[in-house]
Amino acid sequence: MTKYREIIRLTGLGFSQRNIMASCGVAQKTVVKVQKRARELNLAWPLDDSMTDSKLEGILFPREAKASPSKRMPDFAYIRKELLRNGVSKKLLWTEYMEDCRANGEEPLMYSQFCYHIQLDEQKHRATMHISRKPGEQVEVDWAGDPATLIDPDTGEILKAYIFVGVMTYSQYAYVEAFLDMKQKSWIAAHVHMYEYFGGVAKILVPDNCKTAVIHNGGWKDQQINETYQEMAEHYGTAIIPARVRAPKDKPNAEGTVGVISTWITAALRDEQFFSLAELNRAIRSKLELFNHKLFQKKEGSRISLFLEEEKPFLAPLPATRFELADWKQATVQFNYHISVDRMLYSVPYEYIKKKVDVRVTEHTIEIFYNHNRIASHRRLTGRPGQYSTITEHMPQDHQRYLEWNGDRFRKWAERIGINTYTVVNAILASKPVEQQTYRSCMGLLKLAEKYSDSRLEAACKKALSFTASPSYKSISNILATGADQTGPSENGSGNTKQKAKGITRGADYYRR
């Protein structure tokens, strides 16, 4: 499907039609058509997340009929291969092409058109073109072919360190950093560090065809930008135009600089030993500074002088926050209107209970989406598992009212029942280091009055206080459940309680035996 969303985004960023064509893999006619319709409908970047390509197609071209079937084009790769064989001519291939089209009910090209398109294809494969780049327009990125090495200080094992290279096309100003792998996290981190090193962002990003940048669905025209890589590009306001497969001239500066870097940095460090990645990168940074300050052979100045004077002023400013690599997960909203992510719990509006949601997890943030719309955002919790991050607005109204309770309100409620109940509540509130931890016990205790009556609760509290100065909710609940509050102590005439003898008492006669 046509990348309508990306065309509108790049148009809003001021990219030329040629660059939009290259980034989105569409014809100029398509770019012009989408831009015209977007202006007519006042559609401009940024768009809502719900505006997918399929939805935009329905908005931009709701009544457009499907294109009429066009004439079938020849298989140029097959024709180039067959023309190398003895006795095979264009006329023969055209005859076979005609028969195949008729067998499949397709409309073929006439012989003259057939030969014309073959000629155009041949010219494409022979032609090369130098494209002059403007300052600050493009940066080329790649992994260097030869890895560096470092030594594991614990095992003595030799480890490979892969070298990332980023080169500003105009000034050839370079950035180099080593990583222990070439996975997505390292690839994204390399770009973030590169942009911070340059102090700005180029309009166009030209990566190699690695899996962390491009997903291939067939030929190079059908390639799709990796989702996380595209998200990073949107964060920095740049466009990704991948180099074609086995087409090093699409990024000649990165390819050329890789070779030079291998000599000036990797090879120059070949006799040194490194026992950590940080140690290796410090050495690389030192060599990189020398490399960027080295004078050009055929023109005045150096990479850094050309970059600072003519290129850096044209770079787009860095965003306010650096891009964070995100993991996407799915979760189901529990009955307590929270989801569990890495054994921590985060609230969402209670209306989404039992719904499946998408969760974007970064190092510092948890974002929760339902049908591509963000419904909640939390700062990521760390430390002890089982912690809660709860936003009051996510709670039902009756749950929100619970938050209005505090220690003074519990004391006033207890005081209306009686002095003993007040004393017990006060003791419970002081029993924990954090007062809020006792609210459930206080609430449960005072709710006993609704079940048994105020007078019985007061009597139970009095009885519990005769045993301990800090009775618990459970002990008072047990007193009420067994009816012990209604059984008064037996007293003698003087008003003192008779103490029942307990145990077996051995008299003096026992010990005379």
Task: Average the pLDDT over 400-427 and give the result.
Answer: 86
Is residue 283's pLDDT more than 60? yes
pLDDT band of residue 510 (cuts 50, 70, 90) is low
- For 217-259, what is each residue's pLDDT tens digit? 445 455 677 778 888 999 999 998 886 554 454 445 545 666 6
What pTM value is reported for the model? 0.53
Task: Average the pLDDT over 186-196 and give the result.
Answer: 93
Helix (H) or strand (E) holding 480: helix 473-482
Task: Average the pLDDT over 204-212 and give the result.
Answer: 79
Q: In the beta sheet, which residues pair with residue 340?
A: 345
The phi and psi torsions of 453 (rounded to 5 degrees) equal 110, 155
Task: Average the pLDDT over 481-493 and give the result.
Answer: 67
CATH topology of domain 138-314: Nucleotidyltransferase; domain 5 (3.30.420)
Task: Please give the pLDDT value at position 419.
Answer: 94
Domain boundaries, the chain: 4-60, 76-126, 138-314, 327-395, 405-486
Is residue 164's pLDDT more than 60? yes
Q: Are 428 and 442 in contact (CB under 8 A)?
A: yes
Place of tokens 């939390």: 378
Question: Distance (Å, rounded) from C-alpha 18 to C-alpha 25?
Answer: 10
Min mean pLDDT across 51-60, 147-156, 335-344, 446-455 is at 51-60
Residue with the bigger pLDDT between 322 and 62: it is 322
Using only the alpha carbons of the chain, give its radius of gyration: 38
Is the previous residue joined to 46 through a cis bond, with omega within 30 degrees of 0? Answer: yes
Residue with the bigger pLDDT between 372 and 472: it is 472
**Residues sharing a CB contact under 8 Å with residue 83, sequence separation 6 or more, in sequence order:** 89, 90, 93
Task: Please give the pLDDT value at position 351.
Answer: 92
Average pLDDT, the chain: 82
Cβ-based neighbour number of residue 313 at 10 Å: 10
Is residue 14's pLDDT more than 90? no
Question: Distance (Å, rounded) from C-alpha 286 to C-alpha 306?
Answer: 20
Task: Please give the pLDDT value at position 406.
Answer: 79
Closest by Cα among 170, 163, 174, 181 to 197: 174
Task: Average the pLDDT over 93-98 and give the result.
Answer: 90
Residue with the bigger pLDDT between 157 and 494: it is 157
Place of tokens 């059984």: 487
C-alpha to C-alpha distances, 403 to 339, 434, 438, 440, nearest whole angstrom: 21, 15, 13, 11
Task: Average the pLDDT over 276-292 and give the result.
Answer: 92
Question: Distance (Å, rounded) from C-alpha 140 to C-alpha 149?
Answer: 24
- For 22-48, what is each residue's pLDDT tens digit? 888 788 888 898 899 888 888 888 888
Closest by Cα among 130, 170, 175 to 299: 170
Question: Distance (Å, rounded) from C-alpha 333 to C-alpha 353?
Answer: 5
Task: Please give the pLDDT value at position 393.
Answer: 87
Residues in the chain: 513
Q: Residue 393 corresponds to which tokens in the numbers above?
A: 């607005």
pLDDT band of residue 424 (cuts 50, 70, 90) is very high
